[in-house]
Chain A
Amino acid sequence: MKHLAYLAAFLPTVALAQTDPADWDAVTAAAEGQTVYWNAWGGSTTTNDFIAWVGERVAADYGVTLEHVKLTDTADAVTRVLAEKQAGENDDGAIDMIWINGANFAAMKEQDLLFGPFAEQLPNWAFVDVDGKTVQTDFTVPVEGYEAPWAMAQVVFIHDTADLAEPLGNMGLILEWAQANPGRFTYPQPPDFLGTTFLKQALVDLLDDTSVLAEPATDDNYDAVTAPLWAFLDDLTPALWREGRAYPATGPAQLQLIADGEVDLAISFSPGEATAAIANNQLPDTVRTFVLDGGTIGNASFVAVPYNSGSTEGAMVVANFLMSPEAQARAQDPNILGYGTVLNMDALSADDRAAFDALELGIATLSPAELGTVQAEPHPSWMTRIADDWIQRYGVAQ
């Protein structure tokens, strides 16, 4: 009986032994026939279409079935993995892959909820632009191979030139313009990630010295550092759309507001989003984008695999496919998605590079040169505290 108990104690470990990511043939062999539940934010129809296409491709090439579980908030997926861990579901959780970055990644990594490291062993990692793009740190947290990058994002502002012709170079000018044109600007309601991005972008732009943001926020410095942000928001809020008594729920909801002529200016985390939305009739063709004079925040989107996924091999196949030149070129196509690539053009073959060169930027997309300086994301602790504070101050209107 004693032996049996020993054996039972060992069993979970045995079941957890997964295929070595470096042994790619073994990975693809094990992946065939697996179903990968990819939990990804489902609020953007262009992204949903892209994920559906990825599903078709990995089914055809690797026999992997990809199911897109559409989230309204990535935190939902984190909760679920955590709940499964608490409930002892260690072998075949509901989630096999998560579109993730920032605070959610930091939380999952810290609590050992992630499978890996795997990203840097994938074959297509060889093409990734490790030096030129922030793919090895995520909001200042070291990635260490626990998530694989698949898209670069940078803040741009979408404006309808029919009503707001000239770009606004900094947050002060945005405030001035908003006060002169009340009700014509809003941002997604925090804790939506784009809403909190607006808050971070405002903070970064308002501070003279942003180096403090690279370190975790402390009780000592938080109030002083964020004071300019709250002063800015106190001035801005009365001039917002609906006087700040309602906010669009997400980024794409702002597009509808621009199309309806309700607002003239919106924040986006995807330089190509405006062009793609024009192609889909979601925005008028008078829309263009701009960045702030001092630059805007940029980061990478990643996919991570929960520790208790039952289809880690399938998930790695999908992650690897997402970093392929084929998928990256499609994602960068402004008519499809318009996301920035994570690849290093110099590492690609001539044919693959040609596919990227052939892409037209689209009428509302800035060129890499025009996008200018990419500012670093603050440490996740800033965002968490700022989002909580925002809710206390503006999210539960008095």
Chain B
Amino acid sequence: MKGRFLPVLPLLTLAVMLGPVVAGLWGTLLPAFGHLPAAGEFGPSLAPFQALGDWPGLPRAVGLSLTTGIGATVIALVIVALLTAGWSGTKPFRALERALSPLLSVPHAAAAFGLAFLIAPSGWVSRLLSPGVTGWERPPDLLIVQDQWGLAMMAGLVVKEVPFLLLMTLSALGQTDAQRSQAVAAALGYGRVTGWLKTVFPRVYAQIRLPVYVVLAYAMSVVDVAVILGPNTPPPLSVQIVKWMSDPDLAMRLQAAAAALLQLALVIAALIAWRMGEALVARLGKRWIMAGGRGRVDRAVAVTALAFGTTSALAVLMGLAVLAVWSFAGFWGFPDALPDTATLKNWMRHGPSAAGALWETALIAVTVTAAALILTLGCLEAEYRHNLSVSQRGMWLLYLPLLVPQTAFLPGLQSLLLSVGADVGIWPVMAAHLVFVLPYVFLSLADPFRAWDARVGTVAAALGASPDGVLWRVRVPMLVRPILTATAVGIAVSVGQYLPTLLIGGGRVSTLTTEAVALASGGDRRAIGVYGLLQTGAALLPFAVALAVPALLWRNRKGLRYA
């Protein structure tokens, strides 16, 4: 890192991260107001919004976006808060924590498929219980997956967001002095849950506020989970936007752009409403704290929360298991608990094309993550050497790409790239992935990097090491574990990207995720099983490496092993 180059890195990082978002929003704004020269439309006009208003599915699609998004966020947050309140520091909690953290990297699409194969009327749960418990010889005609209320979709989001929020909560707990607060509360006779909620939660929430907003924005505008588990008559707004984007009639893109702006407005409105809700909860909470109740139903609440947390972890794990079973299944009729025969035929049929997608997935993920790591390390080192500090506003910038709904700016970005002729190939896809990978890599690496004991660097410098020498020969080796973890996070994020790959890749870039979601419409569970498992493996393997390598590397340096 040359001294002159280093100070520009934070700016470059911001440009790489926010440039596509801003450009994409611009590319959405113009057609939304009727300006799309490519389709022979010149604005400004409000016609696209009128056309959008005339779509009969609009009220339901908007309603779905709001209810599933807010619902999933509230449920996930409540489960995580009560779980932590009731059980943090206990054995079951550690077990659950160990089970949930790898689930963080399971791609949303794979988790959604697993859940669908599990809870559908013909799913595994129903098969295991039939006909013995239920008496069903045939699957009941129940609208469980793709229900109009989006409940299945909400469940799919909750099981994926619980691990995310839990890990965020755990890392926040370390900075809140929770144990002493809880001890004091307990000494004053407060129940475990009530004491935690009244003393620790307000401080934890302040720390996890931004991640919660990310979950809210994501859940309101998700596409892949909605395609797999969500309703279709009509679909949620985000899915409809993608459908309009691919209509043969280019004029529909104007309508899609108008809907994308509406989606953005919905997310902003929901975030504002959530912020106001926070104030309301805070006021009610204060009254609740002042009332001084010690908590009479704590035990029941804690047990319920544990049950929900366990169910959520089990749903993903069993879902992955049923994907595996389907991938090896011969004929498997209802209500058999297992297939008639096990066969390698499915893997032999789909293996070769899946291997191609795996290669493309890996190429994108590794390149993008490497770029993200270099930028992140550069920013953090610049911050360290030049004594910069990141303000709260800086954190918002970091979270911005995760807060702007993907369906709001990716369609615009695609139109822009198309109009400059840079839309073909793998590079634009990588650039789009970087927008999402970079914040996660940064967030994952920033705390361990800043927490590094600078005195070690001073010693090294005193021994004659240059600043670059300190970085490469002392700091980076000591931080190998968090760097590998950040790498694994980056790869998992890239592997799971659906919309950026689909829209920016123009169909020419096929990763495991786009292939798997494309298979959703065909309903071939064997093929989906193969792709879903490979997708999960591609996201999980780097985490295994991130655990194994430091253990090997530091086998003689116990003090560094947990650095």
Q: A residues within 8 Å of B by Cβ?
A: 37, 39, 42-45, 48-49, 52, 67-73, 75-80, 82-84, 86-89, 94, 104, 107, 182-183, 189, 241-243, 245-250, 252-257, 259-262, 280-282, 284, 392, 394-397
Contact = CB atoms under 8 A, between A and B. Distances in A.
B459 to A, nearest CB: 56
B330 interface: yes
B457 interface: no
Given A182-B141, A252-B523, A396-B60, A281 B329 contact: yes
B507 A39 contact: yes
Given A48-B353, A394-B233, A260 B122 contact: yes
B507 A252 contact: no
B527 interface: yes
Nearest to A250: B521
Given A44-B524, A255-B524, 19 more contacts: A45-B522, A70-B515, A75-B248, A76-B246, A76-B507, A79-B250, A94-B424, A245-B148, A248-B523, A249-B523, A250-B521, A260-B122, A262-B139, A262-B334, A281-B332, A284-B333, A396-B60, A396-B234, A397-B233
Contact of A262 (B122, B247, B329, B345): B122
A358 to B, nearest CB: 24
A94 B343 CA distance: 38
B523 A83 contact: no
A83 B418 contact: yes
Given A45-B522, A87-B421, A261-B122, A281 B330 contact: yes
A245 B146 CA distance: 9
B519 A259 contact: no
A83 B232 contact: no
B251 to A, nearest CB: 11
A281 B525 CA distance: 11
A398 to B, nearest CB: 9
Contact of A247 (B233, B247, B333, B506): B233
B50 interface: no
A38 to B, nearest CB: 11
B326 to A, nearest CB: 10
B562 interface: no
B141 A73 contact: no
A281 B331 contact: yes
Contact of A87 (B329, B419, B518, B524): B419
B113 to A, nearest CB: 13
Nearest to A103: B248
B524 A72 contact: no
B231 interface: yes
Q: Give the interface size bracket for B toward A.
A: 35 or more
Contacts of A84: 418
A104 B234 CA distance: 24
Given A94-B424, A281-B330, A392-B56, A262 B138 contact: yes
Contacts of B234: 395-397
Contact of B233 (A44, A67, A182, A396): A396
B333 A396 contact: no
B523 A45 contact: no
Contacts of B147: 245-246
A256 B526 CA distance: 10
B548 interface: no
B211 interface: no
A395 B506 contact: no
A284 B343 CA distance: 16
A80 B57 contact: no
A187 B525 CA distance: 19
9 nearest A-B residue pairs (beta carbon): A253-B523, A183-B141, A86-B38, A396-B57, A260-B122, A43-B522, A249-B521, A78-B248, A256-B523
A42 B524 contact: no
Interface in B211-254: 231-234, 246-248, 250
A94 B334 contact: no
B307 interface: no
28 contacts: A42-B522, A67-B508, A70-B507, A70-B515, A70-B518, A82-B250, A88-B421, A94-B424, A94-B508, A183-B141, A246-B145, A246-B146, A246-B233, A248-B523, A257-B122, A260-B333, A262-B121, A262-B122, A262-B138, A280-B349, A280-B526, A281-B330, A284-B333, A395-B234, A396-B55, A396-B56, A396-B57, A397-B148
Contact of A45 (B143, B330, B349): B349
Contacts of A246: 143, 145-148, 231-233
Task: Point out which of A78, A255, A262, A392 has the most chain B C-beta atoms below 10 A from its C-beta.
Answer: A262
A259 B331 contact: yes
Nearest to B330: A281
A142 B532 CA distance: 43
B520 interface: yes
B561 interface: no
Contact of A69 (B145, B508, B525, B527): B508
Contacts of A86: 37-40, 250
A103 B146 CA distance: 29
